[in-house]
Amino acid sequence: MTDDRQTLDRQAREQTARELAALNDRLMAKNHALAEALTRAGKELTKAKSQLSQLAQPPLTFATMVKVDSSRTDEMGVTHASAEVIVGTRRMIVPVAAGLNASRLAAGRTVILNEKMVLVDQRDHDTSGMVRTVTEPLGDGRLVVADAGGNASVVRRASTLASHPFDKGDRVIVEASGRIAVDALPRANDADLVLEETPDVTFDDIGGLDRQIERIRDAVQLPFQHRELYARYDLKPPKGVLLYGPPGNGKTLIAKAVAHALAEGDGFGERSGTPGAGGVFLSVKGPELLNKFVGESERLIRLIFRRARERAADGRPVIVFIDEMDSLLRTRGSGVSSDVETTIVPQFLAELDGVESLGNVMVIGASNRVDMIDPAVLRPGRLDVKIRIDRPNGDAARAVIRHYLTDDLPLEGGVDADALAGVLVRDIYTRSPRRHLADVRDEHGVWNALFLADVTSGASLKNIVDRAKTLAVKASIGTGSDVAIGVDLLARAVEEEFTETRDSLLDADPVQWSRVNGFDAGAVTAIRGVEH
């Protein structure tokens, strides 16, 4: 019995122990889960807290460092420094955080101010800002710079530029307040400013301008050919020639042909160039120069003439061709741009007056608005030979066309190029309704009919022939044989040119259109279409 009881007791104890152990396991697991949940909650809390504090953080301010203003150490050995900075356009003195090494703060660098306007951090210098052109590096390191309008100001250099060798014409980035140059930019490329070529255009390539070519030959060639005679009669050769008239009629062609002819030494005597070396044609476009180099116009004028002298040094004749000269050498007092009037014209005159000693250099200007050019430029001894290059009349047009419509082309049987040119000219120059482009009103309120002939230029004649050639090429593709150019194709080409010219005319601003096309001021104040 006792044995039985003992057995029962043991069994009961063992049962209890097992139950207790199981309970313990469950409790342990629960505990573990709770602990994990607690840790997770703790983490969430920390995250939320940091998000909250970030939301509540006051903004920091960017500023540009100017200089450390003062730095003193107190009795406790702590350094107190302040700095002059620029915030936006405001100049301020701010304290420098104690942890920051004030001696490392450098002019021009970006610095960070906290909400109490304490300088707490230094970054690299800004890489963006306003572009300015250096007009004068001052002895004390400051720079005189100019903006696109030529307005000058003085700026200090960032510490990174302290020993940068600045030259007139260099470009810098100036920070927003306009007080400090923070970075140097590569120089604007001078190389693409002045185009240089050795032209192979000859006077024979130019149609319909025989009289004008003869004049330029007299003006340019004779003095080259007969230098002694000119000297004996104390006759000074011209330094330059002005070609004027509407665009696209051969001004550039003539200037190039002069450069070529002088180099050919075509009877030009001792002043002719080295045979075979070719003439040098330096060309610049007035408006391009102005846009690119506002504020440093003198440098640009010097640059052109220096280049001319360099090229002429080895005996090659040099033509300096200035296209759209009126924009660059505008009448002083016209008030359009102070820069042009006050610096470019005098600088140009000074260089031009020095041309005499340059020997082989000649200036040829082109303009469709001669009335806009400063009269001083056109005075005797300067660009005193003025030659008008007008739109071609019928005869001249025929001569121009013959340069592009030649006998060696596939032409319709039975007609020669000259006959075709004649037909073409009649079609272009007729003053009948089918070539009536539009009506234009002049400054007196009078409406005049404008015909295709009134706007035809050497360039547009070439264009018409090119259109006919294109039509022929297109028609030839796939047919396996050359499609000949004939009356029909040419008529289609004129029709295309007429339609395009009319459409662009009706879309144009009248005043602008008349200026671009070389009409006198006031000739066209309004344009209206006509019913066809």
Residues making contact with ligand ADP (CB under 6 A): 206-209, 247-253, 366, 389, 400, 403, 458-459, 462
Q: Min. distance of Cβ 365 from ligand ADP in angstroms?
A: 11
Measured from the CB atom, is 113 or 389 closer to ligand ADP? Answer: 389
Q: Min. distance of Cβ 112 from ligand ADP in angstroms?
A: 57
Position of minimal CB gap to ligand ADP: 458
Helices 458-476, 417-429: inter-axial angle, 10-degree rounding: 120
- Contact partners, residue 97, CB within 8 Å, separation at least 6: 114, 118, 119, 120
- Return d(Cα 106, Cα 310) in angstroms, integer: 44
Measured from the CB atom, is 221 or 456 closer to ligand ADP? Answer: 456
Q: Min. distance of Cβ 253 from ligand ADP in angstroms?
A: 4
Cα radius of gyration (the chain): 41
Q: Min. distance of Cβ 230 from ligand ADP in angstroms?
A: 29
DSSP H or E run through 69: strand 61-73
Contact between 127 and 118 under an 8 Å Cβ cutoff? The reply is no
Measured from the CB atom, is 366 or 455 closer to ligand ADP? Answer: 366
Tell me the C-alpha to C-alpha distance, in Å, between residue 53 and each of 40, 43, 46, 117: 20, 15, 10, 19
Q: Min. distance of Cβ 401 from ligand ADP in angstroms?
A: 9
* CA count, 13 A, side-chain hemisphere, 368: 19
Name the residue among 224, 313, 218, 238 with its Cα closest to residue 274.
313
Q: Min. distance of Cβ 245 from ligand ADP in angstroms?
A: 7
- Contact partners, residue 339, CB within 8 Å, separation at least 6: 150, 290, 294, 295, 297
Contact between 256 and 281 under an 8 Å Cβ cutoff? The reply is yes
Tokens of 407: 């006998």
Residue bearing tokens 């610096």:
343
Measured from the CB atom, is 63 or 257 closer to ligand ADP? Answer: 257
Measured from the CB atom, is 102 or 259 closer to ligand ADP? Answer: 259
Measured from the CB atom, is 110 or 501 closer to ligand ADP? Answer: 501
Q: Min. distance of Cβ 305 from ligand ADP in angstroms?
A: 22
Tell me the C-alpha to C-alpha distance, in Å, between residue 390 and each of 250, 399, 524: 9, 14, 18
Q: Min. distance of Cβ 366 from ligand ADP in angstroms?
A: 5
Measured from the CB atom, is 312 or 389 closer to ligand ADP? Answer: 389
Measured from the CB atom, is 208 or 278 closer to ligand ADP? Answer: 208
Helix, strand or coil, per DSSP, at residue 184: strand
Measured from the CB atom, is 110 or 283 closer to ligand ADP? Answer: 283
Ranges of H-type helices in 85-221? 210-216
Measured from the CB atom, is 166 or 321 closer to ligand ADP? Answer: 321
b/e per residue, 117-149, with b = 16+ CB within 10 A? eebbebeebbeebeebbbbebeeeeebbbbbee
Q: Min. distance of Cβ 461 from ligand ADP in angstroms?
A: 7
Measured from the CB atom, is 207 or 265 closer to ligand ADP? Answer: 207
Q: Give the amino acid at 203.
A: F
Q: Min. distance of Cβ 202 from ligand ADP in angstroms?
A: 11
- Return d(Cα 135, Cα 105) in angstroms, integer: 29
Q: Say what the alpha-carbon torsion angle 410, 415, 421, 425 is, to the nearest 10 degrees.
A: -130
Q: Min. distance of Cβ 518 from ligand ADP in angstroms?
A: 9
Contact between 206 and 250 under an 8 Å Cβ cutoff? The reply is yes
